[in-house]
Amino acid sequence: MRVVALLNVMAGSIEGSSGEKMRERVRSALVARGIDCEVEALPGVNLAEAAKRALQKAQRNEIDAIIAGGGDGTIHTVAAVLAGTGVKLGILPLGTLNHFAKDLGIPMELEGAVDVIAAAHDVNIDVGEVNGIVFINNSSIGVYPYMVLDRERLRRERGLRKWTAMGLAGLHMLRVFPIRRLRVRAEGWVDPCRTPSLFVGNNKYTLSLKAARKRERLDGGELWFYIVKHQTRLSLVWFTVLSLLGLADTERDLRVFGAKQADIGARKRKKRLAVALDGEVVFLRPPLHYRMRAGELRVYAPIPAELPQATV
């Protein structure tokens, strides 16, 4: 196997340490499994261009796969380049949360993740898209993108650590408490709504603390929409606590539906909406056109365990 591995030096498990040291660790692990590799350690802002260069190599049959090393933002960036091309993606979960890798069942330690790539078992999975931009986990409108923007402002201005800044951003959000007036159109019906948060998942999410994976499958072929019903600060805080404990009542707290595509419009005329995509925020002009792109991403994943043989 011949691969190009792209490591984000700003990823959670690399940031603050030597990118060169991690590059050598990854290279050694790949070579030990007989994989011919070119490993680059680079900042996140350069990932998309590096992925495009690697894609060209794959299309010239110079390499067999591209590996992304980092967190969900890193995987999102590389997957957006590869979706629909048929080029295989390997994943090294080097970020802080690694939701996508966990939902695929990829081991969190480097050696185990490299073993998955070396086994070369690939599957086709879904990606979502909004206004032409791919996402692998989820997208949201409302309080979360507001908090992410505020978090990054606090980090720039005060030099705060990520989670400290996020906590302060949460307090700021409660003070402002943005309620979005949206119009949801999906498969023949239209629903106006007032909500602090609308969440769109690439496949169905399990709202349970006991779930090892938040999504049991990534090839179900549907986007899932979760519209929070709560209209007050206190009720939103309580809902958040229950959600973290896996105790939220879906019927009481959320409007939930699955669809292959949907349009989200702003009831008040807006030039742009802040939209979170896999933890990053972009500004998009409404209406937001969400659609499922079923089976368009080819990834290395663990080989499913064989079912036990029936005994006679």
Per-residue model confidence (pLDDT) at position 201: 97
CA 202, CA 128: separation in Å to the nearest integer? 6
Strand partners, 125: 297
Tokens 């990053």 -> residue: 280
pLDDT of residue 210: 55
Q: What pLDDT does 229 receive? A: 87
Q: How many CB atoms lie within 10 A of CB 169?
A: 23
Q: Output the CA torsion 36→42→45→50 (10° steps).
A: -30
Q: Answer yes or no: are the C-beta atoms of 128 and 290 closer than 8 Å.
A: yes
Nearest of 44, 48, 40 to residue 83 by alpha carbon: 48
Q: In this predicted structure, what is the pLDDT of residue 203?
A: 97
Question: Edge-to-edge strand order for the sheet containing 254-259?
Answer: 254-259, 223-228, 197-202, 138-142, 273-277, 280-284
Rounded distance, CA 230 to CA 245, Å? 18
pLDDT along the chain (312 residues), means of 10: 95 67 94 96 94 98 97 96 98 93 96 97 98 96 92 90 88 87 90 92 81 81 93 82 74 89 84 92 95 98 67 42
| CA atoms of 90 and 70, how far apart (whole Å) | 11
